[in-house]
Amino acid sequence: MGHAPWWQRGIVYQVYPRSFQDSNGDGVGDLKGILRRVDYFGWLGVDAVWLSPIYPSPMADFGYDVADYRGIEPVFGTLDDFSELVAALHGRGLKLILDLVPNHTSDRHPWFVASRSGRSDPKRDWYIWRDAAPDGGPPNNWLSTFGGSAWEWDAATGQYYYHAFAREQPDLNWRNPAVRRAVYDAMRFWLDRGVDGFRVDVMWHLLKDPAWRDNPPNPAYDGSQPEFQRLLEVNTTDQPDVHEIVAEMRALIDEYDDRVLIGEIYLPIERLVAYYGRDLAGAHLPFNFQLILTAWDAGRIAGLVERYEAALPAGAWPNWVLGNHDKPRFASRVGPAQARVAAMLLLTLRGTPTLYYGDEIGMRDVPIPPGMVHDPWEKNEPGMGFGRDPQRTPMQWDASALAGFTTGTPWLPLADDRAACNVEVLSDDAGSILALYRQLIELRRTSPALSLGTYRTVAAEGGVFAYERRYDGASMLVALNFGDQPDRRIELPPGDRPGRVLASTHGDRQGETVAGALTLRPDEGVIVSLTG
C-alpha cells in the first residue's frame, strides 16, 4: 500500500486538548498531558492526531477565538512543549494535524485592536465594517450562528462589524490580499515546525456576498432549529469565489512534502464535493459529515453512500466522520449496541475515517448543570439543546474518582459511568467496544481491500446495509444490521468458495465459515473475507 499517501491509508483521531489529559492539576488538558498519552495513539492504531485550537485565546469560544496565530495558549503550554509533542509523534510514525481558524479572530487579536482604533487605520479593511442601515440598525439581516444579529455596533468608530459566530469573534475580510498573506505566513510558520497539515475551520464561510444582500427566509424553519437557520445562508457562506482561496491554501500546502489540507464544510453533498477543487487542486479532504446528519437507518445510509460515491470528482478520495466537538456523541444518539455497528461502518467504508476522542470507549454526552455551562451558543440560546459542552467532557482513562484526567477540578463534569467506561477497564475486556475499535483498525491496516479497495453496495433491505470492498483480487463483505431484528439473512456474492468471518461487533464468530448466505443477529455487524 506504499503508493497511497498516508492521509488515504490512515485514520485521523481528533483530540480536544482541554479535555484529553491535564498534566498540572488545573483541571484543563494541555500539551504535556497529550505527550503523556502519546503511546495510546499507537496502541489504538491511529495514524494522525488532529488538535483542536491551541493558540493564545481569551477563550470566548474555547480557542476558536484566536489572539495570535503563531503562539500557544499558556493554559496548554509553550512552543517548546509543542515541538516536543511533534517530535514524539513523528518518532512513533504518527502525524500531527493542526486546526487553522482563518475565518475570524478574537476581538483581542492585535489586528482587530488596530482595525477598531479608527477608520483610517491600515488594518481597518482587514475586517468587515459597514455603515448602519438608514434606520440606524444593522446593515442587513445576517444572523450569528450563536444567535442574534451577526452585526455588532462599535460606537467609537460609528460602524458595525460582522461576526458569523460570537461578537468576540470578528470575521476577517478575505477579499483583502493582505489578510490572505498574513494567514498564509502563519500557515508556513507551523508547517516549518513540522505540522503535517491543517483542518481549516468553517472553510465555506471565508467569503461573503460583496453586495451585502439580505439572506432569504428559510421556508422549512419551525422554531426548533437554531435561530440562524431562520434564514438561508446563501449570501454569507459558500460563495463561488471561495474556491480561489482554497486553491491558494492547497498550493501553499503543496510547497511542503506529504502534507494534507482538510476543510470543515457543512454543505449538501453536491456542494461539498466542489471543495476538492478544479483538477483536485482544492482540499484533499473536504470533511463529509453526512453520517452525523443523516437518520440512522439502513436504507438512508446506503442511499447516502451511493450519492456521495457518485458525486465525487474523478480521482477524489472520500472521507467519513462519525463525531466531533460540535455534535452530540454517537453513542448517545444511537445507543451502545448500534455504536458498535457505527464503528464498523466508519472503519470499513471507502475513504479516510476520522475518530473523535472517547468514541472508542463509547463515551456519551454528559448533562451539564446550568451553573457549569461554558459554551457561548448555549448561553445565547439557553434550553434549546444546542450547547456543545456535553460532548466535550474529559476523557475517561481509569476508574479513579477523576478518571485519570486530572488531579484538580475538571473544567467540565465527568460522566457518571466513568468507573466502567474508561480505557483501563475496557482494555482488559476482549468484548468491549475499545477492543472492537482496535480489532477493526488492525483489520483496516492489514487489509488493502478495506483501506484502499473499491466500494459496491450488496444489499440494503430489511434494516440491513451490506457492501463489498475489493482490492487486487481480495474481497471483503461488510454486513450491518441497523436494528434489533433477529436472523437477517444476506446472500453472499457468487464465488467459488465459502467466506470466512473476520470480525463481528458481538465479539465472536471469528473464523466461522459462511457459505451461500450470512445470518445477522440483532445489532450485529460482520466482516467476511470472500477470498479465503
Question: Where residue 3 falls among pLDDT bands split at 50, 70, 90?
Answer: confident
Residues 100 and 199: beta-carbon distance below 8 Å: yes
- Between CA 67 and CA 53 the distance in angstroms is 11
**Which residues, in sequence order, are CB contacts of 320 under 8 Å at separation 6+?**
288, 291, 346, 349, 351, 352, 353, 354
Is the pLDDT at 487 greater than 90? The verdict is no
Q: What are phi and psi of 414, to 5 degrees?
A: -85, 160
Residues 150 and 112: beta-carbon distance below 8 Å: no
- Between CA 438 and CA 444 the distance in angstroms is 10
> 39, 255, 258, 484: which one is catalytic?
255
Cell of 146: 450563536
- Between CA 44 and CA 341 the distance in angstroms is 18
Q: What is the pLDDT of residues 219-266, one digit of tens each?
A: 999 999 999 999 999 999 999 999 999 999 999 999 999 999 999 999
Is the pLDDT at 478 greater than 70? The verdict is yes
Per-residue model confidence (pLDDT) at position 43: 98
- Among the listed residues 470, 437, 438, 468, the one whose alpha carbon sits nearest the alpha carbon of residue 452: 470
Give strand ranges (E) for 357-463: 454-459
Strands 499-504 and 12-15 turn out to be: unpaired
**Which residues, in sequence order, are CB contacts of 78 under 8 Å at separation 6+?**
31, 72
Per-residue model confidence (pLDDT) at position 502: 97
Is the pLDDT at 17 greater than 70? The verdict is yes
- Between CA 261 and CA 200 the distance in angstroms is 8
Question: Where residue 497 falls among pLDDT bands split at 50, 70, 90?
Answer: confident
Residues 54 and 70: beta-carbon distance below 8 Å: no
Question: Quick check: is 168 catalytic?
Answer: no
- Between CA 118 and CA 124 the distance in angstroms is 7
Is the pLDDT at 110 greater than 80? The verdict is yes
Q: What is the pLDDT of residues 349-392, one digit of tens each?
A: 999 999 999 999 999 999 999 999 999 999 999 999 999 999 99
- Between CA 187 and CA 183 the distance in angstroms is 6
Kindly report, as residue ranges, where domains of CATH 3.20.20.80 are found in the chain.
Answer: 6-106+174-439
Per-residue model confidence (pLDDT) at position 148: 97
Is the pLDDT at 420 greater than 80? The verdict is yes
Kindly report, as residue ranges, where domains of CATH 2.60.40.1180 are found in the chain.
Answer: 452-529
Is the pLDDT at 79 greater than 70? The verdict is yes
Nearest 10 degrees: CA dihedral of 279, 282, 285, 289? Answer: -110
For helices 177-192 and 242-253, angle between their N-to-C axes, nearest 10 degrees: 30
What proportion of the chain, given as a percentage, has pLDDT over 90? Answer: 95
Question: Where residue 450 falls among pLDDT bands split at 50, 70, 90?
Answer: very high
Per-residue model confidence (pLDDT) at position 532: 59
Name the CATH code of domain 6-106+174-439 (choices 3.40.1370.10, 3.30.2010.10, 3.20.20.80, 3.40.50.2000): 3.20.20.80
- Between CA 98 and CA 52 the distance in angstroms is 7
Residue type, 201: D
Angle (CA) 392-395-399 rounded to 5° is 140
Mean pLDDT (the chain, rounded): 97
Whether domain 452-529 has CATH 2.60.40.1180: yes
- Between CA 107 and CA 112 the distance in angstroms is 6
The pTM of this model reads: 0.97
> 61, 201, 264, 389: which one is catalytic?
201
Q: What is the pLDDT of residues 387-402, one digit of tens each?
A: 999 999 999 999 999 9
Cell of 154: 462599535
Per-residue model confidence (pLDDT) at position 300: 96
Question: Where residue 496 falls among pLDDT bands split at 50, 70, 90?
Answer: low
Q: What is the pLDDT of residues 500-524, one digit of tens each?
A: 999 999 999 999 999 989 999 999 9
- Between CA 374 and CA 387 the distance in angstroms is 9
Question: Quick check: is 270 catalytic?
Answer: no
* Residue 39: C-alpha distances to residues 77, 89, 106 (Å): 20, 9, 34
